[in-house]
Structure 1
Amino acid sequence: MKYYLRFFVCAIVACIVVACAPTFYEKTYEFNKALAEGNFDAAALMMSQSEKKMSKGRLEFLYLVNSGMVASLQDNFEKSNQDFQKADIFIEDHKKNAFEEGGALLLNPNLTTYPGEDHEKLMVNYFKALNYLEMRQYNEALVECKRMNLRLNQLSDKYKSDKKYKRDAFINVMMGIVYEAFNDPNNAFIAYRNALDIYQNDYAKLFKMPVPDQLKFDLIRTARETGLYDEADKYATQFGMDFQKDDSYAHLTLLWNNGMSPVKAEWGVNFAIIQGSNGYVTFVNKELGLSFPFYCGNDMPAVTWIKAVFPKYVERKNFYKHARLVGADNIAYKFSHAENINAISFKVLEERMLLEFSKSLLRVAMKQSIAARVGQENEGLGAALSILGSASESADTRSWQSLPRDISYTRIPLKEGQTSVEIILTNDKGVEEKKTIPLPQFGKGENVVLPYYSLASYAAKAY
């Protein structure tokens, strides 16, 4: 047997170990469980123990963002932003490695460095901005807004179709919130207006998601604060809302990060191999309406069907379904749902599934062609290599799993000297839980911005 064929056989055998390994979620289950249960110290210990293995190499991005999340949950905002800054630099500097890409194409997609999904990259700036707001560093938070805008422009340039996720409404909402914290109602209004456009024209179609009620109030208010009275009246009429002047001492915007994002699993699909002419074969799955032709030359696969595996998302159900925020006036303010990371994750993967199908089937076709070539010299070895080629198939199940599932927000008035507010969480059984949220010291006219995390969620269903 020729040297390169022997090398390929050994490589496939080695990849079977990878293919038979658990999914990334299964590997990190205890970490996810610790976050869901609010045991952040245990999660931090796990991150520390995995630093040597994950902080460099193929899992660098995931190590940095998870480490940043845990540090923020422990109120270590400077450490958190150091990690997120490294993740930001990783995103900017990451270039595909030809050797890794070749290994992924020939053997297994997990051989590549994980670059992060489009929405995961945007969330890096979101959490950096939250950390700066917690530290009352408004200039730095504003810089993150501008970086968010830059990333959004890059995303829009990447995709041309109106049916693709290329604009993020919530990131524009976040920009408006930060501008308000910076006492810049003019730019806040522009950001809110951009968010409205995306909710109405993108999110309504892609995610069946309505415009958040809080955004409607924010648009009308900032339009009036900027002196755009005609715009304010237009939106008040459009939304059926009356503008009421608010002379409260200060305000709090609370961002409720709820649940945990979906995780990736493997999805197996059977394909019939149809022998064609001129060295072509076609992989066909009639049930899904899929057909992929490949050129194999004289090395036609000996098998008549194969099973290929692809990534799919599996959601994690929220433990808490609703929440209200109660201030010093004892009025309960509802939260407005602003971002569905669960739905966006599914959409992002769906948009590239044809590419995933093509890459996976090309890898299978190459393995089966080499098995056929080996079979010309040794029929038994060729058949064994064909089986080994199928056994070494594995999907890339890596993702940023510490992201919340949903983000909602509300804005309430604060009284001078107020030290806390209360959030009332309602779980999926209808039971209410009351939590106290301490407030930092604030001055007259200040717009305080705080996050609140309730990461309790159910484990991903068996797959």
Structure 2
Amino acid sequence: MRRNPQLIFPTYPNHHTFMVSRKTIFSIPVFILLSGCASFYQLNYEFNKNFEQGNIEEAANILDQNKKAAKSKTRFLYYANQGVVEHLLGNYQESNKWLEQAYLFGEDYHKNYLNFAASYFLNPNLIVYPGEDHEHLILLYYKALNFLKMEDYDAALVECRRLNQRLYELGDKYLSENKYQKDAFIQNLMGIIYDASGDYNNAFIAYRNSLEIYQNEFSEMFGLSAPEQLKKDLLRTASLAGFPEELDKFSEELGMEYKPLPPTSGGELVFFWHNGLSPVKDEWSINFVAVKGDGGQIFFQNEEYGLNFPFYYDTSEDGNASITDLTGTRVAFPKYVEREPFFQYASLEIDNYYYPLEKAEDINAIAFKTLRERMLEELGKGLLRVAIKKTVEKQVRKEDETLGFLVGLVNFASEQADTRNWQTMPHSIHYSRVPLEEGENEITLHTEGPRGENSQTFTFMGEKGKTQFQTYQSLESKSTL
């Protein structure tokens, strides 16, 4: 049985040859072509609307009524969304069941090459959505949070090891140093979990790795510096793990003097603030002019963006020479649309002392970067897709002008970008560590936006030597889609 939502308070080119018959063209269901006209966000508008307004129970009911989605080409997103809504409803065990299905999907995913080939002729929505790299990391973050809420540190550490494996796979996948292949926040999270379990050695290593990524990759790629809390935790665990040389080294490097403090009587609270919502994918297009070149080449050119893509074609009389008759074409690509958070700053207040919630992960920026990194690949695939479809259209027109015209309509309707992505992730993740007194502790969360400040009060029972974890989701955005 679901509980009422808690802690959510919205206030407002390789050369390819395809032989396609007339029968093949018109066996394509019309609804497949027309469904591509709406973005993934629009196709799931009722769910998105309720989720954004904080009607999490209703959003969960909408998911439950759409059980076919569990076997659809967007099943990864169905599993991930189920995991998020159950997390927000406080059903952490149920949330992890869905998130585990998303994780196993990522482990077992193999491309369906028939659908993959069809995506060149129609649109990329015909292949199973594999999930973005950062989406596979964030789902394990949610799993770890669920286990922490259930005070199962051993299980949370298993998710740490899975996260570490995914990070290694990213490093192997991308050789360029300027690609998103390391995640400072995930390393920081691993440190926090090791820290809470009393494994200060591994906590220090994870904190150190996190600091290095913030100082190098994250600072350059996303303009995101290492949180002050991370620096404090690094020095503290260096001391607790018995690494005096490392402690001296980082104290000097960070310009911070480490002063050991006695353990608090009520343990500590690690508070994660999920601010706003991640971007959604939409569609944009580029017009290209096709220019015949020498040596069996055709160039798709766009002067506005300075783009020039060569393709090889068959110059034989009965080959694909018809592609040289093309004068221009439109190619559709995905783009991200940011949902800028309503709140810009937050802090925790306890006993008139304020602890700022520092930004540790910018999911919005990561999403934009990962798409930019593969934009040339998207351009090449899109042009190849259009070139193939246009070639088929020209060949059919030679035999039957009317049929060729209908093929052109099919081509136009099927030229759609893949706008699928996980849209219930937060825009950014902020956190802070707060000392607790034994017994009852009253903590107030202050969030600040253009219309002033909102406050929400929580009560935590402090217990010596124990680290507690809390998440809070602010769903508000400055504008709606």
Is this a same-fold pair by TM over 0.5? yes
Q: Could you tell me how far 1:276 is from its partner in structure 2?
A: 3.0
Mapped contact 2:36–2:125 kept (Cα < 8 A)? no
The DSSP-based 3-state class of the residue aligned with 1:320 is: coil
Counterpart residue number, 2:432: 410
Tell me if 1:355 matches 2:377: yes
Distance in 1 between residues matched to 2:296 and 2:405, nearest whole Å? 20
Mapped contact 1:262–1:460 kept (Cα < 8 A)? no
Tell me if 1:38 matches 2:54: yes
Q: Could you tell me how far 1:387 is from its partner in structure 2?
A: 4.3
Q: Please, which moves more after superposition, 220-229 or 160-169?
A: 220-229
The DSSP-based 3-state class of the residue aligned with 2:383 is: helix
The DSSP-based 3-state class of the residue aligned with 2:101 is: helix
Q: Please, which moves more after superposition, 232-241 or 301-310?
A: 232-241
Q: Please, which moves more after superposition, 168-177 or 348-357?
A: 348-357
Counterpart residue number, 2:464: 444
Counterpart residue number, 2:23: 6
Cα distance 1:291–1:146, how it changes in 2: closer, same or farther (>3 A)? Answer: same
Tell me if 1:294 matches 2:317: no
Q: Could you tell me how far 1:13 is from its partner in structure 2?
A: 5.4
Q: Could you tell me how far 1:419 is from its partner in structure 2?
A: 4.1
Counterpart residue number, 2:6: none
Distance in 1 between residues matched to 2:31 and 2:210, nearest whole Å? 49
Counterpart residue number, 2:64: 48
Distance in 2 between residues matched to 1:46 and 1:19, nearest whole Å? 21
| Candidates 189, 193, 196, aligned match of 1:178 | 193
Cα distance 1:12–1:274, how it changes in 2: closer, same or farther (>3 A)? Answer: farther
Q: Could you tell me how far 1:380 is from its partner in structure 2?
A: 4.1
Unaligned stretches of 5+ residues in structure 1: none
Structure 1 residues 93-132: aligned runs within 5 Å? 93-132=108-147
Q: Could you tell me how far 1:420 is from its partner in structure 2?
A: 3.6
Counterpart residue number, 2:390: 368
Matched residues, percent identical? 44
What does the per-residue CA deviation read over 1:47-95, in whole Å, with 9 as the maximum and x for residues that have no partner?
Answer: 1122x22111201100001001000100000100010111111111111
Distance in 1 between residues matched to 2:36 and 2:292, nearest whole Å? 28
Structure 1 residues 270-419: aligned runs within 5 Å? 270-277=287-294, 279-297=296-314, 298-299=319-320, 300-301=322-323, 302-327=325-350, 329-419=351-441
Counterpart residue number, 1:266: 283
Mapped contact 2:440–2:459 kept (Cα < 8 A)? no
Distance in 2 between residues matched to 1:361 and 1:189, nearest whole Å? 48
Cα distance 1:423–1:108, how it changes in 2: closer, same or farther (>3 A)? Answer: same
Mapped contact 2:268–2:462 kept (Cα < 8 A)? no
Q: Could you tell me how far 1:14 is from its partner in structure 2?
A: 5.6
Q: Could you tell me how far 1:246 is from its partner in structure 2?
A: 2.4
Mapped contact 1:258–1:405 kept (Cα < 8 A)? yes
Structure 2 length-normalised TM: 0.91
Structure 1 residues 153-192: aligned runs within 5 Å? 153-192=168-207
Distance in 2 between residues matched to 1:340 and 1:313, nearest whole Å? 14
Distance in 1 between residues matched to 2:91 and 2:209, nearest whole Å? 33
The DSSP-based 3-state class of the residue aligned with 2:71 is: coil
Distance in 2 between residues matched to 1:79 and 1:438, nearest whole Å? 25
Q: Could you tell me how far 1:103 is from its partner in structure 2?
A: 1.3
Distance in 2 between residues matched to 1:355 and 1:17, nearest whole Å? 25
Counterpart residue number, 1:432: 453
Mapped contact 1:259–1:317 kept (Cα < 8 A)? yes
The DSSP-based 3-state class of the residue aligned with 1:448 is: strand
Tell me if 1:18 matches 2:35: yes
Cα distance 1:3–1:64, how it changes in 2: closer, same or farther (>3 A)? Answer: closer
Between Structure 1 and Structure 2, how many residues are aligned?
455
The DSSP-based 3-state class of the residue aligned with 1:58 is: coil
Q: Which amino acid counterpart does residue 433 of structure 1 have in structure 2?
A: N
Unaligned stretches of 5+ residues in structure 2: 1-18
Q: Could you tell me how far 1:167 is from its partner in structure 2?
A: 0.3
Moved over 4 A (4+): 12-15
Tell me if 1:454 matches 2:474: yes
Cα distance 1:388–1:279, how it changes in 2: closer, same or farther (>3 A)? Answer: farther
The DSSP-based 3-state class of the residue aligned with 2:440 is: coil
The DSSP-based 3-state class of the residue aligned with 1:408 is: strand
Distance in 2 between residues matched to 1:46 and 1:207, nearest whole Å? 35
Tell me if 1:237 matches 2:237: no
Mapped contact 1:315–1:460 kept (Cα < 8 A)? no
Structure 1 length-normalised TM: 0.94
Distance in 1 between residues matched to 2:305 and 2:275, nearest whole Å? 34
Q: Could you tell me how far 1:236 is from its partner in structure 2?
A: 2.5
Mapped contact 2:20–2:392 kept (Cα < 8 A)? no
Q: Could you tell me how far 1:385 is from its partner in structure 2?
A: 2.3
Cα distance 1:3–1:146, how it changes in 2: closer, same or farther (>3 A)? Answer: closer
Distance in 2 between residues matched to 1:278 and 1:95, nearest whole Å? 37
